[in-house]
Every structure is written in C-alpha cells, then in structure tokens.
C-alpha cells in the first residue's frame, strides 16, 4: 500500500518542469502537496477496507447498514446477537435463508447462526414398510419433526470476529428456537430437544 511519502513523490513528479513549481522542502507548494499526499494515502487505505465491508460475514463499520437492509434485529434477537460475532451470524443467516423445507436447509440455517443440530422426522407407521418396535406415529405426528441441539451452545470470543468489551463466551438457545419457528412450514409442529 502506498504511503503518504510515496504519494508526495508521485505528486512532485507530476508537476510541470520549471522554476514556477519548486519541489524543495519548506516551500508553500511542497507543504500543499504534503497535505494532499496524506489525504490520498488515507483514502487509499480506506479503499482496501471496502472489500471486507462489502461482505456481510466480515463487515465491521457497515454492519448497522447491513442489518437495516436485512430487517435486523428482529423479534428473534437473543443473547447471542448482543455480540459482534452473533450479529454477523444473524445477518448471514438471514441473507442466506432463501427458503426451503428440507432437513439440510434447517441444518444450514442453524449452522449459520452458530448451532450444530440434527433433524429427526417422525414417519407414519406403514404396514410392509415399518417393523415391529417402530413407533406408531400417525395422526398429527406425521407433521411433527424434532430438532436436536447440544444442551448448551457456546460461542467463544474470537480475535478478528469479536469486538473489545464483549464477553469471552456467550450462550443461549433462544435465538435458535425463534428463528427456526419462524421458518418452519405452517402445517408442521417443531419440537426442540437439547442434550443427549
């Protein structure tokens, strides 16, 4: 990345030749070019930060704007979304959740929020397909599914992901339940199971 001194030398070389444009230190023109070079170096360094800010997973300064566009924080904002890492996870999850009804979709949404889960569907008991000992899960159980998650999901403080002043660990499952209940198909019943 060019420094202010590099920009100063570049500005000096762009001046037309002649005594009307002195390049010596201490002249008014040199002082003017020095001020310009500092600003050019600052703008250049800010331009390097732009690709990080354009990505919702790495944004810092534009996180508030990204959240405003995505409609966050929403009614599901929980304890984990009080941290920078949690806010980013919620943003990425919201932008990535394009819709779906498969197990893989809900596992992916939970993973974007920072949770490792599994999904268990209750299948109806069918003669010829089910065997002795299988649960009789007909009726409303046909539309029921269970999401299994660890009893406690801990999001640790991570350098580069978290901000100064945040707790070293954050935990809670309230965000997971609220977000997945929002996305669950209307005709289904979603159960949560924590731990073994």
pLDDT tens profile 107-122:
988 888 888 899 988 8
Does the model's pTM come out above 0.85? Answer: no
pLDDT score, position 80: 65
pLDDT score, position 43: 92
**Is the Cα dihedral 125, 130, 135, 141 positive or negative?**
negative
Average pLDDT, integer, range 125-146 = 79
Asked if 137 contacts 125 with a C-beta cutoff of 8 angstroms, the reply is yes
pLDDT higher than 90, residue 96: no
pLDDT tens profile 6-56:
998 999 999 998 888 888 888 899 999 999 999 999 999 888 888 888 898
- The domain locations on the chain are 4-54, 74-194
């Amino acid at each position: 990345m060019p420094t202010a001194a590099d920009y100063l030398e570049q500005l000096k070389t762009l001046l037309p030749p002649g005594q009307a444009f002195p390049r010596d230190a201490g002249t008014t023109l040199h002082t003017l070019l020095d001020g310009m070079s500092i600003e050019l170096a600052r703008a250049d360094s800010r331009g390097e930060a732009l690709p990080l800010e354009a990505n919702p997973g790495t944004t810092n300064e534009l996180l508030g704007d990204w959240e405003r566009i995505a409609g966050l924080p929403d009614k599901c904002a929980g304890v984990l979304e009080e941290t920078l890492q949690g806010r980013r996870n919620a943003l990425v999850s919201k932008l990535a959740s394009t819709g779906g009804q498969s197990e893989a979709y809900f596992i992916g949404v939970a993973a974007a929020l920072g949770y490792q889960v599994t999904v268990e569907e209750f299948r109806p008991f069918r003669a010829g397909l089910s065997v002795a000992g299988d649960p009789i899960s007909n009726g409303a159980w046909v539309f029921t599914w269970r999401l299994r998650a660890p009893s406690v999901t801990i999001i640790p403080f991570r350098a580069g992901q978290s901000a100064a002043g945040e707790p070293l660990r954050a935990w809670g499952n309230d965000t997971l339940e609220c977000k997945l209940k929002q996305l669950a198909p209307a005709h289904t019943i979603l159960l949560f199971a924590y731990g073994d």
